[in-house]
Amino acid sequence: MEAEQPLVAEQDQAMLHITGMTCATCAVRIEKGLKKMPGVSEATVNFALERASVTYDPALVDPEKLAGKVESLGYGLIRKPKPNGDAALATADPRQQEIRRQRWRTAVSAALSLPLLWTMVSHFSFASAIWLPELFMNQWFQLALAAPVQFIIGAPFYKGAFKALRNGSANMDVLVSLGTSAAFFYSLYESLRTLGAHGHMHSPQLYYETSSVLITLILLGKLFEALAKGKSSEAIKTLMGLGAKTATVIRGELEYRIPIEEVVAGDIIIVKPGEKIPVDGIVLEGNSAVDESMLTGESMPVKKRAGNDLFGATINRNGMLKIRATKVGADTALAQIIRVVEEAQGSKAPIQRVADRISGIFVPIVIGIAAATFAIWLFVDGTAAFANALEKAIAVLVIACPCALGLATPTSIMAGTGRAAELGILFKGGECLEAAHRVDTVLLDKTGTVTNGKPELTDVLAGGTYADQQLLRWVGAVERNSEHPLAVAIVRGIREMGIELPAAERFEAIPGYGVRAKVEGYALLIGTSKLMKRHNIAAEHAFEQMAGLEKQGKTAMLIAVNGQYAGIIAVADTIKSTSKAAVDRMHGMGIDVIMITGDNAATASAIAAEAGIRRVMAEVLPEGKALAVKQLQEAGRKVAMVGDGINDAPALAMADIGMAVGTGTDVAMETADVTLMRGDLASIPDAIQLSRKTMANIKQNLFWALAYNIIGIPIAACGFLAPWLAGAAMALSSVSVVLNALRLQRVRL
């Protein structure tokens, strides 16, 4: 009796849109809170996208409880629908609304802070000639301007700080609230202390402008940050806007123009020239050229006729098509692409763990440094000690915001995966994007990867009294009766030459040898040398030609007419036009390229030589491909396996990076870490190069984010940085990190 296997709990995934996060520490806190919930196996919170991806056991927890947990931590939450046509567009609304709110808050805060900034500037010697209204120097006028900024405009900072402290942690809101409150309440104390007093000896030391200008600068930085983050997700918005909004459906004898959401699988749809194909389907009638650039990145239209597959959001260029809908809504290729890109943008690259660990302990350390700065300056400064010490402590609190550190990785991942999607490269997640830059060995499957995946007619060598055209006409007539893939390729090639095929009589397939038939009174034999010998056809002088063709990786067949040798016809699975250039490019990048195939060594070597591949593994079974990957890994190589995503599944799973070449089918997307939508090898160096550029961008962001704090905090602590300058520097650091990441959207490969 077999041992009973333990049951594995079924896992669901929820995508939550979170509002109210102010820095990377917020994301870390939400992540920890969700992971502690029973039934939650994995939780990833992306600060840049304001999104959480949660994997959970539906028997123990549900989305309502997940939402409740997020809200109990002090954050808002909007459930995010899975991408399905226009429904996905709704996800843009919360961010746009937040940007509008940020604009108003920033504008009002700036208007109230401007007079206070005026008074501050007038204290500098270089600005002493600037006229200053006497009212602006009045402490109660300054209080009237600063109070709304501090407690109405700045209320979200207090709320965020309270919720963070209540949950036993600290974030950016705590730093901002501490710094601005210290400046405001000290100024209020000074205003009340001098109430009714007269003379310069009793003039108050006011810092109302410090608190107000700080809040304004932080809001301005947040606004710029939100606008820049919006640009980094342009790829998703573009993809969402690609789909058709309506479709012309035939129901009964009538045509109806209906919204795309009402189309169901099985509907018959009419697509006119210039229209977008509304859903995935199959051509029933008509011939046309379809622009599939949105799917594959290729600008050349693809010819379509009855029986061909079509994909939603591609454009019908020239010809009426009648199609049957096969996939609608969330099942379409476009919806799958959107889902893959969203999941990739919402995921974390391993390098981000460094930033998360630092962010988790950063704020308490900064508060400690600020307290030490205050104490030291209070001790060493003899005159106006308290005010000076307070000002320097505020500068430390403000400049040390961890926002730039939290944005360094996710914004680059967003921009990199978005740019990759535009180029027809779908990374499954941030981990895949990071791993791709380490690849030093690419293992290529032959059929359908290096080659086109289907045989084509390549040669016809007439060797008797018949011309090529006449010979092809008779051969096509015979092979038309066979269902063998090589016969299909021969007939397709002859028809593409515009040759009309007559009828064949008495067709017979001879297993292992070839075929024979009678055409227009002529008896034809087509097949192997054994077939010729079997019928006493003198064709020995053609065997050398036949061997030469086979050395080139071609399958050659001898032709006899009325018992006399008449020529040779050859077919081959030809290499893709881009294969050699892509292989040369990978060699130039320092990547070792190996072709692995189940074909015989002679054919494999011929194809490899044509593609510029220097190393070949031939006659390898599917399970042997996975073993080959493992052996390369044991030798210290970082391996990318490139195949069709189905037959090569074991090797794709074993490799450091599995790349599926194709048009984004369900199986390919599930099997591979990267889907190469263009279907050619040029996407492989593109993917690796984009990974290298993205990782370089992330490292630049992390370096400058850390360097900014390492340099800025000591400068502020030493008293060389006014609080308002610290606020401006903090805002600038976050914006600069996002802008640096956005450079990836313009990368040319």
Per-residue H/E/C for 68-133: HHHHHCCCEEEECCCCCHHHHHHHHHHHHHHHHHHHHHHHHHHHHHHHHHHHHHHCCHHHCCCCCC
Distance CA 671, CA 660 (A): 8
Is a pLDDT exceeding 60 seen at residue 84? no
Distance CA 187, CA 210 (A): 10
Q: Per-residue pLDDT averaged across 426-432, rounded?
A: 81
Q: Specify the range with the lowest mean pLDDT, choosing from 177-186, 467-476, 584-593.
A: 177-186
How many beta carbons lie within 10 A of that of residue 388, not counting itself?
A: 18
- pLDDT, residue 209, reads 77
- pLDDT, residue 635, reads 92
Is a pLDDT exceeding 70 seen at residue 236? no
Q: Specify the range with the lowest mean pLDDT, choosing from 34-38, 44-48, 91-95, 343-347.
A: 91-95
Report the chain's terminal Cα–Cα distance, integer Å: 59
DSSP letter assigned to residue 7: P
Spell 324-351 as b/e; 16+ CB within 10 A means b: ebbbbbbebbbbbbbbbbbbbbbbbbeb
Is a pLDDT exceeding 90 seen at residue 10? no
Sorting pLDDT into bands at 50, 70 and 90, what band is 314? confident
Is a pLDDT exceeding 80 seen at residue 119? no
C-beta separation of 504 from 478 below 8 A: yes
Q: What is the mean pLDDT of the chain?
A: 80
Task: Tell me the per-residue pLDDT of 701-716, one tens digit each, with 9 for 90 and over.
Answer: 888 888 887 888 898 8
Closest CA to 33 of 88, 71, 84, 83: 71
- pLDDT, residue 6, reads 44
Residue 746 has, within 13 A of its CA and on its CB side, a CA count of: 6
Q: Per-residue pLDDT averaged across 462-488, rounded?
A: 86
Ramachandran category for residue 530: left, alpha or beta (phi over 0 → left; psi -120 to 50 → alpha): alpha
Show the tokens assigned to 748.
């040319």
Using DSSP bridges, classify how beta strands 639-643 and 321-327 pair: parallel, antiparallel or unpaired: unpaired
Helix, strand, coil % over all residues of the chain, rounded to 5 = 55, 20, 30
Q: Which residues contact 452 (CB under 8 A, 6 or more apart)?
A: 573, 574, 575, 576
Maximum alpha-carbon separation in the chain: 129
Whether the model clears a pTM of 0.75, i.e. scores above it, the answer is no
Distance CA 354, CA 406 (A): 10
Question: What values do phi and psi take at 134, rounded to 5?
Answer: -60, -35
Task: Tell me the per-residue pLDDT of 671-705, one tens digit each, with 9 for 90 and over.
Answer: 678 888 777 888 899 999 999 999 999 889 888 88
Cα distances (angstroms) measured from residue 257 to each of 251, 254, 280, 381: 11, 10, 17, 80
Handedness of CA 539, 544, 545, 548 (dihedral sign): positive
Task: Tell me the per-residue pLDDT of 558-577, one tens digit each, with 9 for 90 and over.
Answer: 999 998 999 999 988 888 88
Q: Per-residue pLDDT averaged across 44-72, rounded?
A: 84
Active site residues: 445
- pLDDT, residue 583, reads 94
Sorting pLDDT into bands at 50, 70 and 90, what band is 296? low
- Helix (H), strand (E) at residue 567: strand 564-572
- pLDDT, residue 636, reads 92
- pLDDT, residue 345, reads 57
- pLDDT, residue 132, reads 64
- pLDDT, residue 739, reads 83
C-beta separation of 657 from 674 below 8 A: yes
Using DSSP bridges, classify how beta strands 309-310 and 280-285 pair: parallel, antiparallel or unpaired: antiparallel
Burial class (CB in 10 A: 0-12, 13-18, 19+), 606: buried
Distance CA 651, CA 655 (A): 6
Share of the chain above pLDDT 90, in %: 15
Task: Tell me the per-residue pLDDT of 120-130, one tens digit each, with 9 for 90 and over.
Answer: 655 555 545 56
Which residue do the tokens 């969203």 mark? 342
- pLDDT, residue 428, reads 79
CA angle 461, 467, 470 (to 5 degrees): 105
Distance CA 637, CA 632 (A): 6
Closest CA to 660 of 416, 424, 423: 424
DSSP letter assigned to residue 589: T
Sheet-wide strand order for 425-427: 425-427, 674-676, 657-661, 639-643, 441-445, 592-596, 615-617
Distance CA 723, CA 392 (A): 7
Distance CA 236, CA 323 (A): 27
For residue 675, list its beta bridge partners.
426, 660
Q: Specify the range with the lowest mean pLDDT, choosing from 22-26, 137-141, 375-379, 535-539.
A: 22-26
Could you tell me which residue, 722 or 670, shows the higher pLDDT?
A: 722
Sorting pLDDT into bands at 50, 70 and 90, what band is 85? very low
- pLDDT, residue 101, reads 84
DSSP letter assigned to residue 276: B
- pLDDT, residue 625, reads 84
Is a pLDDT exceeding 60 seen at residue 659? yes
Is a pLDDT exceeding 70 seen at residue 159? yes
Give the length of the chain.
749
| Helices 172-193 and 155-166: angle between axes, nearest 10 degrees | 120
Task: Tell me the per-residue pLDDT of 501-539, one tens digit each, with 9 for 90 and over.
Answer: 999 999 998 877 889 999 999 999 998 888 898 899 888
Q: Per-residue pLDDT averaged across 455-471, rounded?
A: 85
- Helix (H), strand (E) at residue 709: helix 683-717
Distance CA 212, CA 379 (A): 28
- pLDDT, residue 238, reads 63
Please tell me which of 72-81, 106-115, 121-130, 734-743 the model is most confident about, judged by mean pLDDT. Answer: 106-115
Is a pLDDT exceeding 60 seen at residue 665? no
Q: Specify the range with the lowest mean pLDDT, choosing from 178-182, 470-474, 475-479.
A: 178-182
Could you tell me which residue, 300 or 151, shows the higher pLDDT?
A: 151
Sorting pLDDT into bands at 50, 70 and 90, what band is 483? confident
DSSP letter assigned to residue 655: S
Q: Per-residue pLDDT averaged across 175-191, rounded?
A: 79
C-beta separation of 561 from 464 below 8 A: yes
Could you tell me which residue, 174 or 585, shows the higher pLDDT?
A: 585
Is a pLDDT exceeding 70 seen at residue 384? no
Burial class (CB in 10 A: 0-12, 13-18, 19+), 691: buried
